[in-house]
Amino acid sequence: MTEKIFIENPDMDRKYLVSLMEKLFPNHKFLFLPWDRSDVCGHTDGILHAVGSNKVLVNLKVYPDDIAAKMRSQLESYFKVIDLELSDYHNMSWAYINMIHTQNVIIVPGVGRSTDEEALKHIKKLFPEYDGRIYQVQMQSIVKRGGGALNCLSWSFTI
């Protein structure tokens, strides 16, 4: 999670919020990454993606240096951090991390840039067990309009 949760709940004590989350998710530990306030959503699904046991794929180069350094430091305390390899980091390159990853298929967002193929190639390299089952879908207009990509669009919950 990002620290946005604390900023958006200023009337709630930080320890109390954490205790609520620990009750909701008793077998999980929480890590609160810094929030870049220019990132309206402030969700971690545009920052990192699990790529195996204790490894995460990140695209920290889209963040200001100080925030990216703090994120990297925190993440490296728990995970092997793998940077997404792109020749150009642009205002939509975070979307590549915001992929759908199921048991049978991985779908990577495309944003209509030359880096689409680079991102897809790197993700295929990270998931060789998905050979022939990693696809890319173009969604530049959705990313621009909604500030989210495939993982954001696939959220579901029951009440």
Whole-number Å distance between alpha carbons of 28 and 125: 29
pLDDT for res 90: 81
Whole-number Å distance between alpha carbons of 106 and 53: 17
pLDDT band at 153 (very low <50, low <70, confident <90, very high): low
Arithmetic mean of pLDDT, 38-62: 85
Report the mean per-residue pLDDT for the chain: 87
Arithmetic mean of pLDDT, 64-79: 95
Q: What is the pLDDT of residues 100-115, one digit of tens each?
A: 898 999 999 998 999 9
Whole-number Å distance between alpha carbons of 17 and 107: 33
* Nearest C-alpha neighbor of 35 from the set 24, 27, 43: 43
Encoded amino acid at 145, one letter: R
Owner of token pair 């495309």: 110
Q: Which CATH class is domain 33-153?
A: alpha beta
Where are the chain's structural domains?
33-153
pLDDT for res 139: 81
CB 41 within 8 A of CB 147: yes
